[in-house]
Chains A and B, each alone.
Chain A
Amino acid sequence: MTSPVLRIAAAAIVLAGCSSHPPPSGTAPLTLAPDAVRLAAQATFGPTVAMVREIERGGAEGWIDAQLALPPSDLGTYPVVADSVATVCPPGAPATCYRDNFTPFLTQAAFFRNAIAGPDQLRQRVAFALSQILVISGDEVRANYGLAEYQKLLLRDAFGTYRQLIEDVTLSPAMGRYLNMVNNDKPNPVKGTSPNENYARELLQLFSIGLVQLRPDGSVVTDGTGAPIPTYDQDVVEGQAHVFTGWTYPLQPGAPQRTHNPAYYLGQMVAVGANHDPAAKVVLGGTQIPAGQTPQADLAQALDAVAAHPNVGPFVGKQLIQHLVTANPSPAYVARISAVFADDGHRVRGNLGAVVRAILLDPEARGDTRNDPSYGRVKDPVLLLTGLARALGVETDGVYFANAAGALEQPPYASPSVFNFYPPDYALASGLLSPASALLDSGSVFTRANVVRKLLYAPPGPDATVSGATGTQIDFGDLAPYGGDAGALVDSANALLLHGTLSAAARGKIADAVNAQGSTDPANRVRAAAYLVLTSPSYQVER
Chain B
Amino acid sequence: MRISRRELLSGLSLIGLSAGVFGGRRGALAATGDYRALVCVFLFGGNDGNNMVVPVDARYADYAAARRQPADGGLALPLDQLLPLAPASGAAAYGLHPDMPELQQLWDAGALGVLFNVGTLVAPTTKADDAAGRVPRPQSLMSHQDQQNQWQTSMPDRPVRSGWGGRIADGLPAASLPPLVSVAGNVLFAAGERSQPLAVPPAGGPAFGLSGFDASVGSRAIRAAMDAVRGLDLDNALVQSVAGETVAAFAASGALAPVLAGTGSSTDALFGPQPSAFGKQLLQVARIIEARSVLGASRQIFFVSLGGFDTHNDQLNRQSKLLADLSPSLSAFHAATVQLGVDSQVTTFTLSDFARTLQPASGGGSDHAWGNHQLVLGGAVRGRQTYGAFPTLALGGPDDFSTEGRWIPTTSTDQYAATLARWFGVTPGDLASVLPNVGRFGTDDLGFLG
Contact = CB atoms under 8 A, between A and B. Distances in A.
Interface of A: 139, 179-180, 183-185, 188, 190-198, 201, 205, 211-212, 225-228, 230, 234, 245, 327, 373-378, 407, 409, 416-419, 423, 425-432, 434, 437-447, 449-450, 453-454, 457, 501-503, 505-506, 509-510, 512-513, 516-518, 524, 528, 531-532, 535-538, 540-541, 543
| Residue of B143, B145, B207, B249 with highest tally of chain A CB at under 10 A | B145
B245 A440 contact: yes
Given A419-B144, A445-B249, A513 B225 contact: yes
A336 B100 CA distance: 55
B146 interface: yes
A443 B199 contact: yes
Size band of the interface chain B makes with A = 35 or more
Given A191-B74, A192-B66, A537 B362 contact: no
A159 B242 CA distance: 33
Interface string B193-206: 10010111100011
Contacts of A505: 232-233
A373 B237 contact: yes
Given A225-B5, A378-B238, A509-B232, A416 B210 contact: no
Contacts of A179: 312
A288 B194 CA distance: 50
Contact of A506 (B232, B238, B250): B232
B312 A180 contact: yes
A503 B233 contact: yes
Interface string B221-260: 1101110111011111111111101101110110000000
Given A429-B191, A453-B211, A536-B230, A226 B235 contact: no
Given A198-B367, A446-B206, A512-B225, A503 B232 contact: yes
A502 B367 CA distance: 51
A502 B233 contact: yes
A416 B144 CA distance: 13
Given A201-B368, A506-B233, A537-B243, A437 B225 contact: no
A425 B144 CA distance: 13
Given A191-B74, A201-B368, A538 B239 contact: yes
Contact of A541 (B242, B313, B362): B242
Grouping DSSP codes into helix (H, G, I), strand (E, B) and loop, the B interface class, with mixed when no group exceeds half, is: loop
A446 B140 contact: no
A192 B307 CA distance: 28
A193 B222 CA distance: 63
A324 to B, nearest CB: 15
Nearest to A182: B363
B143 A205 contact: yes
B209 interface: yes
Contact of B246 (A183, A431, A445, A509): A445
| Residue of A183, A450, A518 with highest tally of chain B CB at under 10 A | A450
A192 B68 contact: yes
B67 to A, nearest CB: 8
B399 interface: no
A193 to B, nearest CB: 5
A125 B243 CA distance: 27
A324 B229 CA distance: 26
Given A190-B72, A192-B360, A509 B225 contact: yes
B1 interface: no
Contact of B229 (A226, A423, A510): A510
A438 B361 contact: no
B225 A510 contact: yes
Contacts of A524: 218
Given A193-B72, A437-B238, A505-B232, 17 more contacts: A180-B312, A193-B74, A194-B361, A196-B361, A198-B313, A416-B307, A417-B45, A417-B144, A429-B193, A439-B186, A443-B206, A450-B210, A450-B211, A524-B218, A532-B225, A537-B242, A543-B238
Contacts of A457: 212
B365 A537 contact: no
Contact of B140 (A211, A440, A543): A211
A129 B205 CA distance: 27
B207 A438 contact: no
Which 6 pairs from chain A and chain B are nearest by CB? A516-B221, A441-B199, A513-B225, A442-B249, A198-B312, A537-B243
